[in-house]
Chains A and B, each alone.
Chain A
């Protein structure tokens, strides 16, 4: 079993929709949880960062971690065409990251 599982999509939604992206992980030692966003032919960039369980909100983006079920979520409200990208969840104990395979999101105008 891969340490971080993520549905690769693609996920296609109309502009303005609420998007839910999800990952599961297997290692209960992971304490830090991230979402990276990667535009086509670019390097990943950190979008959201969460320590342990709970929610974190940043504008239209909300990251949620449930350590009891080892579930990581990213919600995007009022999605925009500019949100079209691949979203990678990642976890870490500290110095090295374990990534999910990434979910490709397409937001159509």
Chain B
């Protein structure tokens, strides 16, 4: 039981390049989330998916797109990366039972030059 997995672990991009961050969970959770974490800013919600087939914007959605591919997988796409998107990205999932109990992946460290 791997929990929440994320790929890649590290990535360096040049400004304007695109990439997709992958997230998968094996806990049969309905809801999945993408956060970014920056020094001094804490964890901020980018997008979430309450259930398969639905996605909603969070606090900082600009410059990102998401796809809930199936119940297990939720991807985050940067179409044209900018230095301001340099951050650590975390994916999380929630079963929908106990409010607030989210399970986080190990994170992807992204640097945009």
Q: Does B43 contact A (CB under 8 A)?
A: yes
- In contact, A34 and B40 (Cβ under 8 angstroms): no
**Interface size, B (range):** 20 to 34
Which residues of B are found within 8 Å of A93, using beta-carbon distances? 99
Nearest CB to that of B101 among chain A residues? A46
Q: Does B100 contact A (CB under 8 A)?
A: yes
- In contact, A88 and B43 (Cβ under 8 angstroms): yes
- In contact, B104 and A43 (Cβ under 8 angstroms): yes
Nearest CB to that of B9 among chain A residues? A41
Query: When A95-B31, A96-B48 are in contact, do A44 and B43 touch as well, CB less than 8 Å?
Result: yes
Query: When A43-B90, A43-B106 are in contact, do A92 and B40 touch as well, CB less than 8 Å?
Result: no
**Interface size, A (range):** 20 to 34
Partner of A97 from B4, B41, B45, B98 at Cβ < 8 Å = B45
- In contact, A101 and B40 (Cβ under 8 angstroms): yes
- In contact, A42 and B106 (Cβ under 8 angstroms): yes
| A4 to B45 CA separation, bound complex (whole angstroms) | 14
Which residues of A are found within 8 Å of B44, using beta-carbon distances? 99
Partner of B102 from A31, A97, A102 at Cβ < 8 Å = A97
Which residues of A are found within 8 Å of B33, using beta-carbon distances? 96
- In contact, A44 and B58 (Cβ under 8 angstroms): no
Which residues of A are found within 8 Å of B31, using beta-carbon distances? 95
- In contact, B43 and A99 (Cβ under 8 angstroms): yes
Nearest-neighbour CB distance to chain A for B1, whole angstroms, equals: 15
Nearest CB to that of B94 among chain A residues? A95
| A77 to B67 CA separation, bound complex (whole angstroms) | 44
Nearest-neighbour CB distance to chain B for A77, whole angstroms, equals: 24
Nearest CB to that of A33 among chain B residues? B100
Nearest-neighbour CB distance to chain A for B10, whole angstroms, equals: 11
- In contact, B107 and A42 (Cβ under 8 angstroms): yes
The 7 tightest CB contacts between A and B, nearest first, are A43-B104, A101-B42, A99-B43, A32-B99, A34-B100, A32-B100, A92-B100
